[in-house]
Every structure is written in structure tokens, then in C-alpha cells.
A and B are shown apart, each in its own frame.
Chain A
Amino acid sequence: MTVLILLLLVLACISVTIGSAGLTPAQVAETIIAGITHNQSGTFEEAVVLGLRLHRVLFGVCAGFGLAVCGAVMQGILRNPLASPFTLGISSAAAFGASVAILIGAGISLWSDSFIVINAFVFTLVATFGIYLLAKHRGMTAETMVLAGILVMYLFSAMTSFLQFFASAEHNQEIVFWTFGSLSRTNWEKTGVLFFIIICTVPYLLWRSWDINALAEGDEIAKGLGVLADRTRALCMGIVSVITAGIICFTGTIGFIGLVAPHISRMVIGSDMRYLLPVSGLVGAILLTGADILSRSIIPNQIVPVGIMTAFIGIPFFGYLFMKVRREYW
């Protein structure tokens, strides 16, 4: 755990330092310290580090942490190694919401940006509610929720494609760019909102980790241990979708982390949620921060959307453990 935290800190420092402004690590450190001590001077360094980079890095850390925790919780309560906010329709609902907003709020303005965010957030919750309703009809088992999630994913993907088919080239470009997932749209307010969501929800999920552990072994086991299986699963799904919504409404779809960070962690430390949740979170934060560094440095003076980079950085890491660790883990 300490190693992970140190690694994350190092990556975060690198991430704040690199960029086209050509600032030295010492200048960056000075600016951050000045910022913390409220000794602001309105310099170029301040504008770059505090105005552009630092919130982006912090948002990336929070987002990676949140997505990975969501994936770990979903894989546990749904007993499915493929469950993640991306595979169960939550992300595609957000993409649909954003597409609708992009098409309706045609004018480029501040208002349109918040409209996209709000719409993506709302549709994410709509998707979760849809999954809930579909699953409730058949009983809240892990299997019905996974199937309902996949239905919802295909439905929203189809609806997004439908919109794209009729949209202008300009709008299409915007929609496609949104679905790549990017940390470029962050600011301090968004980082604050996300931090608030994470702080309010993750401790609760951690507190319920005994229950999630029990659910991972089957509903009968969970009920026998005094866990209200259906209610706990529905509640956790709700919380997870709020976290996911809070992240991807600002960034666009970042798919890979929620799926793979829990697997990487599980291979090393096992599936006890008391440890798996924080460790997955850290691994997710590391992956996203690493991907962000890569996305900003791989092509000079160009930022590749981070959503594209997450798989490039995550797969070698995952592949190495997959080949190396002989422990059966799922």
C-alpha cells in the first residue's frame, strides 16, 4: 500500500512537471508551495501549474481511484469478472446524454458545457434506474443485473449511433471526442465536486466491504450471514453509478480502468474487499495518472485523449501479472 501511495505521488509530481511550458521541477514546486500559502502572484508559472495542471492531476487521481473502486464493487456484488461501469451500460448512457446535449445545445458556450455535464450525469442515473427496474422485475440476482446492464449498454450505444447518423460532421466530431475521454476539460470546481462525491461515498462502500465479500460468495451465503442481499446489491449499484456519473460526466468515457485495476489488485492481494477497495483505487489512480502523462508526452505539443491511453498503459501491466502470478484469483 505504501509503495502504491509513493508511486502515485511520484507519478503525480512528474505529471505536474511535464508539459510544453518548459518549467523546471523546482519552479513547479515553488509555485505549488506559493499557492498553498496563498502567496499568489499572478505569474505565468502560477497560471500554468495552478490554473492548468494541478487540478488536472488531482482530478485524474480522484477519477482513477473512483472508477477502480466502482469496478471492484461491481465485480464483487455481481460476481462477474467482466463487470465494470463501462461494460454495464453506465458509460454508454453518459455518452448518449452528452450526445443529446451536444446536438441540442448546439452553440458553443459555457452553458453548453454544463448542459453536457448535467445531461451525461442524469442519463447515467437513468441507465442505473433502468437496470434496477429490469432486474427488479426478475429478482435482484447478480445474473439478472448483468443481463439488464448489457441490454442497457446496447440500447444506449444504438441510440448514440442513431443520433450520430443524423448529426452534422461538426457535431459528430464533438461527440466522438467526448467519447474518447479526456482530462482536458477539468477545472478546480469540477475537481472539488468529484472529490466531494468520492469522500462521501467511498468510506461507505469500505464500511460495507464485509457485506460485499459475503455477496461475492453467493446470495445464500450472504443471507445466512445476515446481509440483505438484494437491498445491498441495489444500494451499492446506486452508489457506484453516482461515482461513475460524477467522473465521466466531466471526462467522457474512460473505460478500461474500472475493469482492469481491480483485476490487477486481486491477482496480488486476493479478493477481500477490505483491502481490495483501497488498493484497486490506488492502482486505478496510478494507471490514470500514468496514462495522462503518456497522453501529454507521447506526441510533442499534442494531447492525446487519456481514454485512449489507459489501455496502452494498463494492458502491459495486466499482462505481466497475468503471465507471472500463478495464483488463481477468479
Chain B
Amino acid sequence: MVTLTAKHLSYAYREKPVISDISLEIKPGEFVGLCGKNGCGKTTLLKCLGHILIPQGSVQLDDIDLAAIPPQTRAQQIGYVPQSIYGKIARTVFDAVLMGRRPYITWGVSGEDIRIVENVMDKLGLLPLAERDMFEISGGERQKALIARAIAQQPSILLLDEPTANLDLYHQLEVMDVLTQLVHDNGISAVMAVHDLTLAMRYCSKVIIINNHQVVKIGPPQEILDPALIRDVYNVDAWISSDGGIPHIIPVSAAYGA
């Protein structure tokens, strides 16, 4: 299992900085939430961590710079789940998940690949959809298929961009439970960009709060997520309740003009 270290990451779109001078470390077994308001750079940071975008600064897996690792080997170490895929692809759900094995396959698909894919699809309840086309299924199911694909990559680090954005309550919990179990059982780490602070508080072992393109706080969510921070970052007055043992954040009012 590997530790991912980012040092002084900066990225700009057309000279407009999106993340600037971010350093962080993700250890094996950590489930990390990236939080911050829209446009703060969560997705860009996630992409830079996986070298989907090439940032200034360095990203290292253990002590090896990501730039020095061949793309195929990198894809065996890091799985990336975007929020959505491009357009309509006439491909069955099974074939879509099977593409996660691409970093291991040159041409032929082995029995082992099939077994891994079936296993992942079973865990995420996707097996009944295996022969359906990707765009016949609902947006949420499609998102689950993308998550299944990244898991089938068997990476040491999973990068997920809003993995629960299109999911209903049941499937949100299902996906988060599967990810938590995966992180726990396999000692991998997961980093997800997430808007739902309650979900982050419940499932993440660590959250990274980004504001104005920089990290403003890192730590266990129960310790660092408080009404003052939420007001600072989101301009929202909120209170945190722990009724029933599960902490949840209740937004009360938007602090307009703050």
C-alpha cells in the first residue's frame, strides 16, 4: 500500500489560478473528503493528484514522482472516477466495468479479469444490469458503474469526484459503505470531492477544507467541522447535531452578502 504526497501543487486555467500551493499527504487506510464551495478547486485538485491534469509541483507515490511512472502502471495504482462520462456510448454495463481492467490488459481478457469485474459488480448490486446498455440505465446506476470500474482497476488510491451526486439516499449509503469497507479491508486510500458535509462527517476519516484555492484546514471531520468554519467557507449559518449518534449538519440560513 502506498502513501500519496503532494507538494506545492498549483494549477491555473488560462493563468487564472484554481489551486495554489497545496501540499498534503494521504496515507493508506484513509478515507479523505475534499470539501469547499463550488469553484474552489476540489475537482482540479483531484485531477492533479491523479495526473489527469499535470500541475506545477510534485505528486509522489511513496517516494516516486508520478511523472516518472508510466501511465499504465500509474493506472494500476490510482483509479479516477469523474462525475460523468461523455455522451452516449453503446456499451453494456459489464463491458464498461471491464474497461477498468485496461491497465492490466493488452488485448485478451483473462478469467481473472472477468472474476474481478463480476465480484465488484456484485458488491455494488450491478449484476442484474450487466447486459444493459450504459445509457439505458439511470444516471445513478451509471455513476455506480463508473465507481465499479475504478474499483475493478484495483488501485491503491481511489480518487472520486462527487461519487454520490446522482444517487438517491439508499444508493448513497450503499456506495459509501462499499467504499468504506474497501478502504478498511484492503488498506487502500480514497479521496473524494464532496458537497454533503454530513456524509463527509459520517464516513471520512479526514477532511481537507479548501477555500480560495488553498487548503485552510485538515483533520478529522468531527474535530474540525464546526459552525464557524462552515460560515467562513460556505457563508452559511449551520448547526451540528448528533441525535441518534450520527452527526449531521443542518444548514440554517445563507449569510447573504457576507
A pairs with B: yes
On A, residues with C-beta under 8 Å from B are 79, 207, 210-211, 213-214, 216-218, 220-221, 223-228, 266, 270-272, 327-330
Bound-complex Cα distance A330 to B91 (A): 10
**Nearest neighbor of A213 in chain B, beta-carbon distance:** B99
What CA separation (Å) do A216 and B134 show in the bound complex?
13
- Bound-state CA distance A218–B87 (Å) is 9
Shortest CB distance B193–A (Å) = 14
B window 100-126: CB within 8 A of A: 100, 102-103, 105-107
* Known contacts A210-B105, A218-B85, A224 near B50 by CB under 8 Å: yes
Contacts of A329 in B (CB 8 A): 88, 90
B90 & A225 in contact (Cβ 8 Å cutoff): no
Q: A210-B102, A270-B133, A328-B135 are in contact. Are A224 and B79 (CB under 8 A)?
A: yes
Inside 8 A of B86's CB, which chain A residues have their CB?
Answer: 79, 216-218, 221
Task: Point out the residues of chain A lying under 8 angstroms from B89, CB to CB.
Answer: 216-217, 271
A330 to B87, CA, bound (A): 8
- Could you list some 27 contacts between A and B, CB below 8 A? A79-B87, A207-B107, A210-B99, A210-B105, A210-B106, A213-B91, A214-B99, A216-B89, A217-B85, A220-B80, A220-B82, A221-B85, A224-B50, A224-B75, A224-B80, A225-B153, A226-B72, A226-B74, A226-B75, A226-B76, A226-B102, A266-B90, A270-B90, A270-B95, A271-B90, A328-B133, A329-B90
Chain B residues touching A, range: 35 or more
Residues in A whose Cβ lies below 8 Å from that of B135: 328
**Which B residues fall within an 8 A CB radius of A?**
47, 50-52, 70-76, 78-82, 85-92, 95, 99-100, 102-103, 105-107, 133, 135-136, 150, 153
A225 engages B85 (CB within 8 Å): no
- Quick one: which of A207, A225, A272 contacts B100, CB cutoff 8 A? A225
A216 surroundings in chain B (CB, below 8 A): 86, 89
Q: At the interface, is chain A mostly helix, strand, loop or mixed?
A: loop
Kindly list the 7 A-B residue pairs having the minimum CB-CB distance in the complex, ordered from nearest. Answer: A226-B75, A224-B80, A218-B86, A226-B72, A270-B90, A226-B71, A329-B90
Question: Which A residues touch B75, using CB under 8 A?
Answer: 224-226
Q: Which residues of chain A come closer than 8 Å to B47, judged between CB atoms?
A: 220
A217 to B100, CA, bound (A): 13
Shortest A71–chain B CB gap in Å is 16
Whole-angstrom CA separation of A276 from B133 in the bound complex: 16
Bound Cα distance from A223 to B159, whole angstroms: 13
CB distance from B212 to the nearest CB of A (A): 25
What's the Cα separation between A213 and B107 when bound, in Å?
A: 12
Bound CA span A330–B135, Å: 9
A211 CA / B91 CA spacing, docked (Å)? 15
CB-CB under 8 A from A327, the residues of chain B are 90, 133
CA distance A224 to B150 in the complex (A): 9
Bound complex: CA A220 to CA B102 (Å): 14
Is B71 within 8 A of A228, CB to CB?
yes
Question: Provided the pairs A224-B50, A225-B100 are in contact, do residues A328 and B90 lie with their beta carbons within 8 angstroms?
Answer: yes
* B95: A residues at CB distance < 8 A: 270, 272
> Could you say which of B52, B82, B91 contacts A271, with CB atoms under 8 Å apart?
B91
Min distance, Cβ B191 to any Cβ of chain A, angstroms: 13
Assembled-state Cα–Cα distance A330/B88 (Å) = 5
- Whether B52 pairs with A223 at a CB distance below 8 angstroms is yes
A272 touches B91 (CB 8 A): yes
Q: How far is the CA of A216 from the CA of B86 in the complex (A)?
A: 8
Determine the residue in chain B with the shortest Cβ distance to A223.
B52
Inter-chain contacts of B50 with A (CB < 8 A): 223-224
Cα A53 to Cα B78 with chains together (Å): 56
**By CB atoms of chain A within 10 A, which of B78, B86, B103, B107 has the most?**
B86
CB nearest to B74 among chain A residues: A226
Q: Which residue of B lies closest to A211 (CB)?
A: B102
Cβ contact within 8 Å between A214 and B102: yes
A residues in contact with B80, CB < 8 Å: 220, 223-224
B71 touches A227 (CB 8 A): yes
Which of A213, A225, A227, A228 is the most central at the interface, judged by chain B CB atoms within 10 Å of its CB?
Answer: A225
Closest to A215 in B: B86
Residues of chain A with a CB closer than 8 A to B105's CB: 210
Q: How far is the CB of A295 from chain B (nearest CB, A)?
A: 32
The CA of A232 and the CA of B106, in the complex, are separated in Å by: 15
Q: Given A220-B82, A226-B72, A226-B74, does the pair A328, B102 have CB atoms closer than 8 Å? A: no
Chain A residue nearest in CB terms to B81: A224
B82 pairs with A221, CB closer than 8 A: yes
Chain A residues near B51 (CB-CB < 8 A): 223
